[in-house]
Amino acid sequence: MEQSSFKKDLTVVKNWWVLLIVGLVYIALGIWTFSTPVITYLSLSLLFASALLFFGVLEIYFSIANQEKLNGWGWYLVGGIFDIILGVMIFRYPGLTAFIFAFFVGFWLMFAGIRAIGTALEVRTYTASAWGWFLLIGILLLIFSFFIIWNPIFGSMGLVMMTSLALLSAGIYNILLSLRIRRLHEHLVL
């Protein structure tokens, strides 16, 4: 039986730990955002811009390091570039209103959700155990994005809580994916 290209690609992926770090930072930011809801919206937008720049650089590094080994490396490259562009835009215009910032967050989450769903469908081709979780997290990210885009002025507290939940979801997704890559690599190397 022929091994699927996604499974074969994951066995040679280097630097799985980059996705683990991204996931842990997402979770830390989600917890911090949830525990400090009185932060001004400007502070949240600057924190978000900093995180986007950091994640963008890591995702670009991951995609370039694995461009010959991973079929979907271009999605990580595009995601990293998208993160950096949004981060720079938010830094350039720090006085963005909550309305505009909500759209930035919403569309960023939409892209992350679509990417997570795509990964779930790829993972489904070689394992029945983990793809459902990836799909669920991708759907949750899309739901969060639609709530934020649909009603961007539902108050800074609501957006802070939704952003916190979305960051936690994105963190769990990245951690699960990194551990799956590591486990698959270790299993096939032994």
Q: Does the pLDDT of residue 1 top 60, yes or no? A: no
For 17-34, write each residue's pLDDT tens digit: 899 999 999 999 889 888
- Contact between 88 and 94 (Cβ < 8 Å): no
Residues 6+ apart with CB under 8 A from 112: 79, 141, 170, 173
Q: What are the φ/ψ torsions at residue 97 (nearest 5 degrees)?
A: -75, 165
Q: What is the pLDDT of residues 104-138, one digit of tens each?
A: 778 888 988 998 898 888 878 776 677 888 899 89
Residue numbers of the domain that contains 115? 5-189
| CATH number of the domain to which 75 belongs | 1.25.40
For residues 94 and 110, the model is more confident at 110
| Nearby residues of 71 by Cβ (< 8 Å), 6 or more positions away | 5, 6, 9
- How many folded domains does the chain comprise? 1
If one compares 73 and 9, the residue with the highest pLDDT of the two is: 73
Mean confidence (pLDDT) of the chain: 80
H helix count then E strand count, the chain: 7, 0
**Confidence at residue 125, expressed as pLDDT on a 0 to 100 scale:** 77
What is the 3-state secondary structure of 107-176? HHHHHHHHHHHHHHHHHHCCCCCCHHHHHHHHHHHHHHHHHHHHCCCCCHHHHHHHHHHHHHHHHHHHHH
Per DSSP, the three-state class of 51 is: helix
pLDDT band with cut points at 50, 70 and 90 for residue 11: low
Q: What are the structure tokens assigned to 129, written together?
A: 């155990």
Q: What pLDDT, on a 0 to 100 scale, did the predictor assign at position 26?
A: 92
> Which are the contacts of 142, defined by CB distance < 8 A and separation ≥ 6?
109, 110, 113, 114, 117
The whole-number pLDDT of residue 54 equals 93
Place of tokens 């995609």: 63
- The helix (H) or strand (E) run that includes residue 78 is helix 73-92
> Is 91 a residue whose pLDDT tops 70?
yes
* pTM as predicted: 0.54
Start-to-end CA distance of the chain, whole Å, equals: 20
The pLDDT > 70 percentage for the chain reads 79
